[in-house]
Chains A and B, each alone.
Chain A
Amino acid sequence: MGNCCSDRSRGRNAAIGGASTSNGINSEAVDEFAEATAYNSVTSWIELSLSASNLRDQSVFTKCDSMVVLYTKRFDGSIEELGRTEIQNSVNPVWNTKHAIIYHFEVLQTLLFRVFDVGNLFQNLDVKNIKLDELQCIGEGTCLLSEIIAKPNRMLTVDLICKEENSIPNQSHNSGKLSVRADEPISVKTLTELTLRCSDLEYTDLFSRSEPFLVISNSAVDGKPVPICKTEIMKNDLKPTWKPIYLNVQQAGSKDTPLIIECFNFNSNGKHDLVGKVQKSLADLEKLHSSGLGENLTLPTPVGQHYQNKILDTKLFVDKFIESTESTFLDYLAAGFEFNLMVAIDFTASNGNPRLPDSLHYIDPSGRPNVYQKVVLEVGEVLQVYDSDKRFPAWGFGARPIDGPVSHCFNLNGSSNYCEVNGIQGIMMAYQSALFNVSLAGPTLFGHVITSASVIASQALGSGQQKYFVLLIITDGVITDLQETKDAIVKASDLPLSILIVGVGGADFKEMEILDPDKSDRLESSTGHVATRHIVQFVPFRDVQNGGTAALHSLLSRLPSQFLTYARTRDIHPKLNQI
């Protein structure tokens, strides 16, 4: 159980693995409480700046006055304008306007840039008021936001293509190049370490002990507070000093945004009692720290029809307030850290005969992907951007290769000595050919596949590669080697590896949730070796049409924080390229 919702605090507090199951109390209820609304994924504000070279001069007699309009392309292909730059008068313009955009690790964010020739007509108008229909488009370029982020210097150059309406549709001209650079504002990296303490908690309940914890929320724009951090639960303590918590300015909104600090008394039924609360911004907390004074908590108390804030004797003190700069997930990417996908596909007989349409492995002649292909495509297209060579190990398990015994980890490409395939398309081809070359069997064992993945991850360590591995296991059934799988996972928990398990088909996956630490305790092997951190996530992929993609995204969204936990606990720092 992470004892806090932010990726930063997870990395820090979990100094070793899930060391944050802190106070012996089942903190699950608290976690649910805090995670109900808080975000777990790494989302980052970044700023895009644009420049172009060799813009094709549209106007023969006048100068080239150009402007870029930035769009985002939705899943259905429709586009939405995000912003416009100012007009620059050059063939190699560098625009000053920066566009702020939120980067999500787990989603494909397609950007579209259109460069327009403004000409003389609109020189004096505000760019926002210019009607784009009246302008001539010099060219357009598109890229994924993650493609920019994954570049070592966070700069990507795209070709501008000019689509002329009255020419042959397939014919297009190259009309220059557009460079997009992504920068992370420095405020995002500022991390505040706070040690909070309360004096004289006023909590008198005959039936329960005092088990206080703090929840810090920011007052969001719509007025509904969003929890961003919570402390561990202190036991039987009326003068609690909590462990340091870590907040970044990004979570708080800004340094002057009021934060709501609430003190609750833990209740195992999940209905925690509010002891008192106080509203302070980070700047206020800094002042409290420097003055050494405490701030009285208040408690909304019903007085007739209304609530009145009763001022309590309980005071909140700030024992420590330290601001520091920490490397963000994007810094690691910019320094060349890569995510390497590995795929393992279930070939057990429970999938049904692949030649029949009711099989999960049925290859539709119309080209519609089956559920396995769909998961590989969805996860693969997000992750492949973060891998420069795009060579993915791909395995199958639970099938009998031609004239051999049942294998619980065979190479999808049919080779006996190397397991890698080239690109997502390579996985697809290897998968289809494997379907014809093996006969489905059983049982469902994960141990071999996880061990193979661990070997690759540790070989990469040995050769000093900056790689983090993601093993995607797609299965239609519950595993039969639970203990072996646990042993393999516990051993792998110390390696640069995360495991995503996607359950397909209609089986009851209740048992799989044991492997997912969000739903259970830390994994323990048969020899008493305990997993140092959480590396497994499980999600059933049932409703392909509606919720399926969202489920996969939630799976992927945890990867950055798992990576950060790995890197920060062992003091791996990105060596930043000076941009």
Chain B
Amino acid sequence: MSIKVVEITLISCEGLTTPDNHRPLKKHARGVIRTPQSASVVRSTSLDRHGGAYPRWDERFTVEMPAWARWLDVEVWSGMERLIGTARVPASDFSGGIVPDGYLNFLSYRLREGNGEFNGIVNVSVRVVGRKLESRNGAGFGCALGVPGRVVTGIPVSNTNSPSKTTFKNVV
């Protein structure tokens, strides 16, 4: 199992509205990246104080995605407490598809609210900056040692620590 090292830039949003009455958002918005390893592990931008319904962050994060992870979620929050919408970014949009690794993908997605309704658009850029073999495994499947491209032997190890604690900073 290899891990993709992915660089994500949360660029901006367009046309955010409040989920209640779909008026243009006035409050400060914040973007959040959630990887599928754990629902509680997220990366968050700072609050955008000027853009209103058109926030702009241009903040870059590096996250690691195991090969089994098929997507990552980008969420946009109003302030700290209210979720506006989520966009699910399929991994195939930036890796393993037709574009080569290392290509800077500019991607835009329609945000969906919790009840499935549409909200604004979120703009991100994603680049696969590297791949590495998984050196620890929280699920206790095994530990792969070796260099990429060669057959390696998996050695079962005990479930020592959760990958989320070592890999990701818990922001929320």
Contacts and interface: CB of A to CB of B under 8 A. Distances in A.
Contact of B106 (A22, A235, A462, A569): A569
Interface string B102-138: 0111111110100000000101010000000000000
A365 interface: no
B98 interface: yes
Interface stretch (B10-18, B34-42, B142-150, B159-167): B10-18
Contact of B121 (A235, A530, A570): A530
A454 B106 contact: no
B161 to A, nearest CB: 35
A532 B99 contact: no
A493 B103 CA distance: 14
A461 B121 contact: no
Given A16-B123, A21-B14, A23-B54, A528 B109 contact: yes
A312 interface: no
B154 interface: no
A19 interface: yes
B93 interface: yes
B15 A455 contact: no
A528 B112 contact: yes
Contact of B108 (A454, A462, A530): A530
Contact of B123 (A19, A458, A461, A462): A19
Contacts of B110: 524, 528-530
B53 interface: yes
Contacts of B12: 15-16, 19
Contacts of A533: 106
A215 interface: no
B24 A24 contact: yes
Contacts of B104: 570
Contacts of A183: none
Given A529-B93, A530-B121, A532-B123, A522 B108 contact: yes
A378 interface: no
A212 interface: no
A461 B99 contact: yes
A527 interface: yes
B123 to A, nearest CB: 4
Interface string A527-565: 111111100000000000000000000000000000000
B65 interface: no
Contacts of A528: 87-88, 109-110, 112
Contacts of A494: 99, 105-107
Nearest to B121: A530
Given A16-B11, A24-B24, A495-B99, A527 B90 contact: yes
B100 interface: yes
A289 B2 CA distance: 55
Contact of B15 (A15, A24, A461, A531): A24
Residue with the greatest number of chain A CB neighbours at <10 A, chosen from B88, B103, B106, B123: B106
A491 B100 CA distance: 14
A529 B24 CA distance: 21
Interface string A1-22: 0000000000000011101011
A532 B107 contact: yes
B106 A570 contact: yes
A531 B109 CA distance: 8
Chain A interface size, under 10 / 10 to 19 / 20 to 34 / 35 or more? 20 to 34
A268 B100 CA distance: 45
A530 B88 CA distance: 12
A126 to B, nearest CB: 57
B99 A17 contact: no
A530 B53 contact: no
Contacts of A531: 108
A454 B98 contact: yes
B120 to A, nearest CB: 9
A458 B105 contact: no
A173 to B, nearest CB: 52
B55 to A, nearest CB: 12
Interface string A433-472: 0000000000000000000001100110110000000000
A527 B14 CA distance: 18
Interface in A11-43: 15-17, 19, 21-24
B105 A461 contact: no
A458 B97 CA distance: 10
A458 B99 contact: yes
B100 A17 contact: no
Interface string A417-435: 0000000000000000000
B101 to A, nearest CB: 9
Nearest to B87: A528
A458 B112 CA distance: 29
Given A15-B11, A24-B15, A458-B100, A529 B123 contact: no
A440 B103 CA distance: 39
Contacts of A24: 15, 24, 53-54
Given A21-B15, A22-B54, A461-B100, A529 B106 contact: no
A21 B12 CA distance: 13
B109 A529 contact: yes
Contacts of A16: 11-12, 106, 108, 123, 125
B53 A458 contact: no
20 contacts: A15-B11, A16-B11, A16-B106, A16-B123, A17-B123, A24-B54, A455-B98, A458-B97, A458-B98, A458-B100, A458-B103, A461-B100, A494-B106, A527-B90, A528-B87, A529-B107, A529-B108, A529-B110, A530-B109, A532-B108
Given A16-B108, A19-B14, 8 more contacts: A21-B15, A458-B98, A458-B99, A494-B105, A495-B99, A522-B108, A528-B112, A532-B107
Interface of A: 15-17, 19, 21-24, 235, 454-455, 458-459, 461-462, 491, 494-495, 522, 524, 527-533, 569-570
